[in-house]
């Protein structure tokens, strides 16, 4: 049978390119988990994904209620779950004030981390039950959260501190809207959320890999300077960022190529090692990359897991 893969945020950028790459193999049915149904349908058509190879299911990661509903709807569809890709993200680098999810969490961490954390926890049982030869849970990471890299050292740097803002509810009322308890900074909130994504992947690996055989992995697909992720940035940045990445840093990768990389992490039998953060070298060969000190801190990962469980109502 075909594999079934859920991809969050498959209505644009990396998620859409990955959906296309997997659907084209004829071996995967892609469930596009998107907040905008019509946009997702149009996106699938625009890249030529054929009807029998995808379905769209509504998911708004900025609402935990929507995440729970999505898990129920998926279950009722009767499809087995063979791979889950947590890809969707928001990036609000120019926001002066924090905005919030339905439950009142700062929007970047609420969407990118907490929404995905609940989704992945709810769907873990479905993955466990699949009889597919490989089962995978992939959480898209980023270089920007890794302070052991040049890109990760562009201020403001990611730093979760002692998680006091998160533990306080990240709501800007009783607590700060930032995980470390500091003043709001939209660019930092995104980077912090990506550190959470990478810590979560490793904690999943420690807790569940041996017992379930599921592969847990993260990746940095390269700098896809053309995606909608930068839609909130100032126009000059949006104009100069793609050529800068193409010709100066040479970290640029097309949406198609990045989609091929993520598709590889989802389906390539040679990439089944669990607990790995994948990256690609200049010849587009995958390798196991090192995470920064903070993004590989096991104690912080455990604490993040426990605090997140409380916030999403699992503990
Ligand atoms: P895009 O903005 O193109 O795609 C993000 C997707 O997330 C969109 O489909 C968007 O939906 C969806 N999304 C946003 N908020 C929600 C929500 N509340 N509920 C459901 N879906 C939501 O960005 P990219 O493709 O670049 O980003 C994809 C991933 O790649 C992210 O995890 C990002 O961190 C990562 N990444 C990107 C890099 C880059 O250079 N672009 C580099 C490294 C990592 P909609 O279409 O409705 O807006």
Lowest-confidence pick of 177-186, 190-199, 280-289: 280-289
* Residue percentage of the chain with pLDDT more than 70: 100
Residue pair 274/215 in contact (Cβ under 8 Å)? The answer is yes
* Residue percentage of the chain with pLDDT more than 90: 83
Residue 24 has pLDDT above 80, yes or no: yes
Lowest-confidence pick of 10-19, 240-249, 252-261: 240-249
CA–CA dist 238, 231 (Å, integer): 8
- A 10 A CB-CB count for 295 gives 28
Give the tokens for residue 181.
């308890």
* pLDDT (mean) for 34-53: 97
Q: pLDDT (tens digit, 9 = 90+) per residue, 77-113?
A: 999 999 999 999 999 999 999 999 999 999 999 999 9
Say whether the ipTM exceeds 0.95. yes
Residue 72 has pLDDT above 90, yes or no: yes
CB 101 near ligand 1, within 6 Å: no
What pLDDT score does 282 carry? 83
Tell the residue nearest (CA) to atom 9 of ligand 1.
9
What pLDDT score does 146 carry? 78
Which residues, including other chains, have CB under 8 Å from residue 2's CB and lie 6 or more apart?
26, 27, 28, 29
CA of 16 to the centre of ligand 1 (A): 10
CA of 101, closest atom in ligand 1: 18
* Residue in the structure block whose two tokens are 């439950």: 103
What pLDDT score does 206 carry? 98
Query: What band does 8 get if pLDDT is binned at 50, 70 and 90?
Result: very high
Q: What is the pTM of this model?
A: 0.97
Active site residues: 190
CB 89 near ligand 1, within 6 Å: yes
Q: pLDDT (tens digit, 9 = 90+) per residue, 115-172?
A: 999 999 999 999 999 999 999 999 999 987 777 777 777 889 999 999 999 999 999 9
Give the tokens for residue 216.
């847990």
Average model confidence (pLDDT) for the chain? 95
CA of 90 to the centre of ligand 1 (A): 6
What pLDDT score does 243 carry? 87
Edge-to-edge strand list for the sheet holding 276-280: 54-58, 28-34, 3-8, 83-86, 136-140, 215-219, 276-280, 286-288
* pLDDT (mean) for 230-235: 86
More confident site: 225 or 20? 20
Residue 302 has pLDDT above 90, yes or no: yes
CB 251 near ligand 1, within 6 Å: no
């Amino acid at each position: 049978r075909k594999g079934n893969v859920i991809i969050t945020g498959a209505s644009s950028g990396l998620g859409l390119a990955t959906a296309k790459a997997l659907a084209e193999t004829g071996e995967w049915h892609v469930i596009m988990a998107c907040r905008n149904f019509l946009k997702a349908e149009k996106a699938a058509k625009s890249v030529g994904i054929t009807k029998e190879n995808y379905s769209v299911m509504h998911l708004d990661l900025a609402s935990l209620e929507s995440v729970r509903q999505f898990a129920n709807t998926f279950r009722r569809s009767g499809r087995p779950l063979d791979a889950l890709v947590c890809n969707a993200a928001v990036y609000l680098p120019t926001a002066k004030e924090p905005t919030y999810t339905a439950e009142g969490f700062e929007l970047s961490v609420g969407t990118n981390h907490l929404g995905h954390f609940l989704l992945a926890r709810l769907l873990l049982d479905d993955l466990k039950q699949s009889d597919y030869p490989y089962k995978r849970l992939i959480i898209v990471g980023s270089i920007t959260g890794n302070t052991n890299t040049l890109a990760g050292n562009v201020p403001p740097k990611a730093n979760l501190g002692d998680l006091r803002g998160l533990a306080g509810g990240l709501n800007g009322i009783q607590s700060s809207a930032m995980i470390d308890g500091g003043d709001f900074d939209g660019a930092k909130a995104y980077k912090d959320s990506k550190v959470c994504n990478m810590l979560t992947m490793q904690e999943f690996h420690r807790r569940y890999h041996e017992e379930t055989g599921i592969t847990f992995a993260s990746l940095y697909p390269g700098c896809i300077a053309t995606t909608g992720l930068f839609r909130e940035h100032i126009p000059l940045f949006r104009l100069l960022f793609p050529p800068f990445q193409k010709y100066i840093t040479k970290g640029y990768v097309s949406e198609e190529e990045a989609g091929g990389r993520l598709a590889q992490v989802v389906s390539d039998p040679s990439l089944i090692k669990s607990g790995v953060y994948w990256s690609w070298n200049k010849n587009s060969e995958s390798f196991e990359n090192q995470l920064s000190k903070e993004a590989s801190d096991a104690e912080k990962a455990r604490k993040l897991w426990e605090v997140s469980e409380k916030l999403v109502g699992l503990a």
